[in-house]
């Protein structure tokens, strides 16, 4: 009889360290942009705006912090992997082509992908969100389906909002939106789902 190899479990690390590794690159991107937004640099005969230089520093920083997070926890979520891949691809295109539009489109594509994945699961009668967050929020099947539908629409809404901001507003407005607006919107979304958590909470049989 062959023995099954147990799947690696995620290691626990200090929550402040985890938060710092996840949000640190974004905060440093904002600080770097505020310091260099009006600067112009000439490298190899080509002029680069401060935004491009900050993006060039942001990509390897995110690779580094994600690698540290994986080393410490032994685990990366699919969302973290997708985010890293898109940042590398679109951040690289931004620097290579000296065109800030690519990194500005990254959140749009990321949220469309997230919403699309959830939509595929819903069409199959499943909640892919449940596989990611079940340990944090034990809900009944109906609750997961409701929450997944709402999050799917929320992701599509964020994609539309990002397109409107970067196409119609200033670069400074987009950086503020990317740094603070998207994070605050996601936090606010889950804060407003209290009734779903209350009505569809999974009951545990303490007697057993």
Residue-by-residue pLDDT tens, the chain, 208 positions: 444 444 456 678 888 888 899 889 999 999 999 999 989 988 888 899 999 999 999 999 999 999 999 999 888 888 889 999 999 999 999 999 999 999 999 999 999 999 999 999 999 999 998 887 766 678 898 999 999 999 999 999 999 999 999 999 999 999 999 999 998 999 999 999 989 988 988 765 443 3
| Confidence (pLDDT) at 147 | 94
DSSP code, position 155: H
Which neighbouring-strand residues pair with 201? 139
The pLDDT value recorded for residue 76 is 86
Give me the residues paired with residue 40 across strands. 49
pLDDT of res. 204: 53
Q: What are phi and psi of 44, to 5 degrees?
A: 60, 30
- Inter-residue long-range contacts of 170-179, CB under 8 Å, 24+ positions, other chains counted: 171/37, 171/51, 171/100, 172/37, 174/104, 175/29, 175/30, 175/33, 178/26, 178/107, 179/26, 179/27, 179/29, 179/30
What pLDDT score does 2 carry?
A: 43
Nearest to 44 by CA among 35, 34, 62, 56: 56
pLDDT for position 7: 44
pLDDT in the model for residue 5: 44
**Given this model, what pLDDT does residue 15 score?**
84
- pLDDT at 10 (0 to 100): 66
Rounded to whole angstroms, the Cα distance separating 56 from 64 reads 13
What per-residue confidence (pLDDT) applies to 156?
97
Which pLDDT score, from 0 to 100, does residue 1 have?
A: 42
SS3 content of the chain, % helix, strand, coil (to 5): 70, 5, 25
């Amino acid at each position: 009889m062959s023995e099954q190899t147990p799947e690696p479990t995620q290691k626990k690390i200090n929550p402040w360290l985890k938060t710092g590794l996840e949000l640190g690159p974004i905060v440093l991107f904002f600080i770097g942009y505020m310091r260099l937004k009006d600067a112009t640099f000439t490298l190899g005969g080509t002029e680069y705006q401060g935004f491009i230089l900050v993006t060039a520093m942001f990509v390897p920083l995110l690779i580094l912090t994600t690698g540290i997070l994986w080393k410490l926890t032994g685990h990366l979520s699919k969302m973290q992997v997708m985010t890293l891949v898109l940042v590398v691809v679109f951040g690289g295109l931004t620097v290579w082509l000296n065109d800030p539009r690519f990194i500005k489109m990254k959140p749009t594509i990321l949220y469309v992908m997230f919403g699309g994945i959830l939509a595929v699961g819903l069409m199959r009668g499943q909640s892919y969100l449940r596989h990611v967050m079940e340990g944090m929020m034990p809900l009944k099947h109906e609750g997961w389906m409701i929450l997944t539908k709402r999050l799917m629409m929320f992701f599509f809404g964020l994609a539309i909002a990002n397109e409107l901001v970067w196409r119609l507003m200033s670069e400074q407005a987009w950086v503020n939106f990317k740094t603070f607006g998207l994070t605050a919107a996601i936090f606010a979304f889950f804060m407003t789902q209290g009734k779903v958590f209350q009505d569809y909470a999974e009951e545990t049989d303490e007697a057993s």
